Structure 1
Amino acid sequence: MELTTVEPTATVDEVVAVIERDGGVIIRDFLDPATLAGLTADLGPVVDALPFGVDEEFSGIRTRRLGGIFKHTRYADAVVRNPLYRETAERFLCIPEHIWLGEDRIEVTPTVQVGVTQLIAIYPGEGAQPLHRDDSVWQWRHPEGGRQARAQIMVAVSDFTAENGGTLVIPGSHRWDDERAPRRSEAVSTVMSAGSALIFIGGTYHGGGTNSTDDPRIGLTMSLDLGYLRQEENQYLTIPVEEARVLPEDIQKIVGYEACPPTMGWVETDGVMRDPHVLLEDEFDSAAQVNMGARAAS
């Protein structure tokens, strides 16, 4: 079984349908050439200066990894702003739930947040990564009542092929329980041109492939996760308040400077529970923030 490739003109409904069936989908030409060139120019010199990994089992010893992507480039903003990724992630993650608040039954819908960002350069001679599920960072169980924890994307900064380490994916593995082990023979290689992207969910088994060519395979990966889960990459240390203040407002919020309803992630200022985004604002609507605290207190 091969991964399905759709055009950038595909609808969110079409993308979601393929992911529900296969666990992942390739979007051809997800990023335009100018954005791709900007990513390469901004991130290439930084990752080239990094040492190789020292974890032969998982992270690789012929692989360089750069985190904290949003503090290095504004071209990455286009990834989380693209509706084929953002709205697809929201379809899987932003599922309303009902809770009781006293005698009132209210509907609460979680937000999404960035959980991890990495530019991953797999160099010649690197072996394949063990197949794994990314939602295992929360020890997520499968099936979990239909709710997903993560929607991941891998953008090809260079061409992905079966020979250079294109991400291995086991189609349909998102439907497996936790007793079934992944086998390499079940995996297919992600083959896509630079600028294209693989979108998959947290329960899909995948891993970096073997690079048997003479050139590095470079990909930009990031995740959108449920807003009430701990972020895999600690964004608040990677992008502290002082650095977050200069980011665009929507990027500030998506990396975690926003509370998840009803009140997950609040901060106290002047004795009031407030949305953490106030720490990045010169002025804020005190009434709106007090309402948030009052709702939590009740």
Structure 2
Amino acid sequence: MRAFSAVRQTRSNRLLSALSAPQRPFHRFELTHGRRDHSMLVERLTKSISPIPSAHDYLETTMGLTTLEPNASVDDVLAVIERDGGVIIRDLLTADQLARLKTDLDRLLDDLGFGVDPDFSGVKTRRLGSVLRHTRHADPVVRHPLYAETASRILQIPEYLWFGEDRVEVVPSKQIGVTQVIQIHPGEGDQPLHRDDAVWQWRHPEGGRQARVQIMLAVSDFTAENGGTLVIPGSHKWDDERAPKRDEAVPTEMTAGSALIWIGGTFHAGGRNASDAPRTGLTMSWDLGYLRQEENHYLTMPADVARALPEDIQRAIGYEASPPFMGWVEIDGVMRDPHVLLEDDFDRNLQATSGMKAAT
């Protein structure tokens, strides 16, 4: 298949054999809690996803995660995520984009101390938040179609609601929920395996919708030795009773500028850094627009700061209401979209849009 010609699969020959075996259909991206209303949507979305390549389409094997080339399609990315819960994109950023980003981040990280949490965040790890306040060179990650469009396809699944006797379709917005640079230094141990949607105490019934699509951009090379993110492929299909085990996890191995994209229901963790140099990654999440954001952008980037950001970044960090009316602000007695707080002038006859349309 195109875009898989140089795909790398990282596990053993035993895994390759398993990949060629029939897979149980999994429609977590297409269904919202298994309602019959979504049967036509399931059919439409399922047809749009490219088939998973057979084991014979993989040229290399090392340890468990599939790597796609940067010319892969969104359908290719979705297909691998649906099966494995995550995928690596080689060279998501160009060398020039990465160099500019790294220059900004290195300057900021040098001024930070280490963490104080031996149980989760680490004591030999530096963490920088509010990334979109500090550098415009992270914007290409937010906007990259293999990330942003993949997130839209996974998150922006319609819901059907009753308003009086009218049955309407509502499509949620998506928002950036967290931005953080994570620099793991030598001697830091493994983080506990976890699901990132645990911040909302999210549950995982079969067919339930996803809340988050996360990315980890390698600012430096990620290896098994230096703490490359640990991932349990397929764990996004687990219920909430099964505990993750360390021997089920595989390290993310990728060159600087490449990125791991995974969903909120996939178990993962920062790995132990047994090398002699720090490992630096930039993580962000696209989340459902009606959930509280993990990182409080409104305090770190209040209106006077947010006005200086590009408009799409303003909206991405939450200065936009999610349909039907989540996140409005009252101005002159009218529920308005919060983006008006950043505008010099706005139509005072308009209120926040409901985003609803008649269901068909």
Q: How far apart, CA to CA, are the structure 2 residues paired with 1:268 and 1:15? A: 40
Percent of aligned pairs sharing the same letter? 70
Q: How far apart, CA to CA, are the structure 2 residues paired with 1:150 and 1:144? A: 16
Equivalent position to 1:159, from 221, 244, 254: 221
Other-structure match for 1:275: 337
Other-structure match for 2:151: 89
Which amino acid is 1:49 matched to? D
Per the TM alignment, residue 102 of structure 1 is displaced from its structure 2 partner at its CA by 1.6
Cα deviations across residues 21-44 of structure 1 (Å, max 9, x unaligned)? 000000000011111111111111
Equivalent position to 1:107, from 169, 181, 187: 169
Cα deviations across residues 233-264 of structure 1 (Å, max 9, x unaligned)? 01101111110000000000000000000110
Matched, 1:52 2:114: yes
* Residue aligned with 1:160, SS: coil
Which amino acid is 1:286 matched to? R
Matched, 1:199 2:268: no
Q: How far apart, CA to CA, are the structure 2 residues paired with 1:291 and 1:112? A: 16
* Residue aligned with 1:75, SS: helix
- Mapping 1:119-134, distance limit 5 Å: 119-134=181-196
Q: How far apart, CA to CA, are the structure 1 residues paired with 2:220 and 2:182? A: 11
Q: How far apart, CA to CA, are the structure 1 residues paired with 2:257 and 2:206? A: 33
Q: How far apart, CA to CA, are the structure 2 residues paired with 1:143 and 1:114? A: 24
Rg larger for = 2
Matched, 1:168 2:212: no
Q: How far apart, CA to CA, are the structure 1 residues paired with 2:305 and 2:97? A: 22
Q: How far apart, CA to CA, are the structure 1 residues paired with 2:241 and 2:165? A: 41
Matched, 1:186 2:248: yes
Runs of 4+ in 1 over 4 A off after TM superposition: none
Per the TM alignment, residue 165 of structure 1 is displaced from its structure 2 partner at its CA by 0.3
Which amino acid is 1:157 matched to? V
Matched, 1:290 2:343: no
Per the TM alignment, residue 117 of structure 1 is displaced from its structure 2 partner at its CA by 0.4
Q: Would the alpha carbon gap of residues 144 and 229 (structure 1) be closer, same or farther in structure 2, given more than 3 Å must change?
A: farther
Per the TM alignment, residue 291 of structure 1 is displaced from its structure 2 partner at its CA by 6.4
User: Are the aligned partners of 1:99 and 1:107 in contact in 2 as well (CA < 8 Å)?
Assistant: yes
Q: How far apart, CA to CA, are the structure 2 residues paired with 1:36 and 1:243? A: 25
Other-structure match for 2:284: 222
User: Are the aligned partners of 1:172 and 1:204 in contact in 2 as well (CA < 8 Å)?
Assistant: yes
Give the TM-score, by structure 2 length.
0.80
- Mapping 1:30-45, distance limit 5 Å: 30-45=92-107
Q: How far apart, CA to CA, are the structure 1 residues paired with 2:300 and 2:155? A: 24
Which amino acid is 1:292 matched to? T
Number of residue pairs the alignment of both structures matches = 294
Matched, 1:72 2:134: yes
Equivalent position to 1:4, from 49, 58, 66: 66
Structure 2 unmatched runs, 5+: 1-10, 12-63
* Residue aligned with 1:116, SS: strand
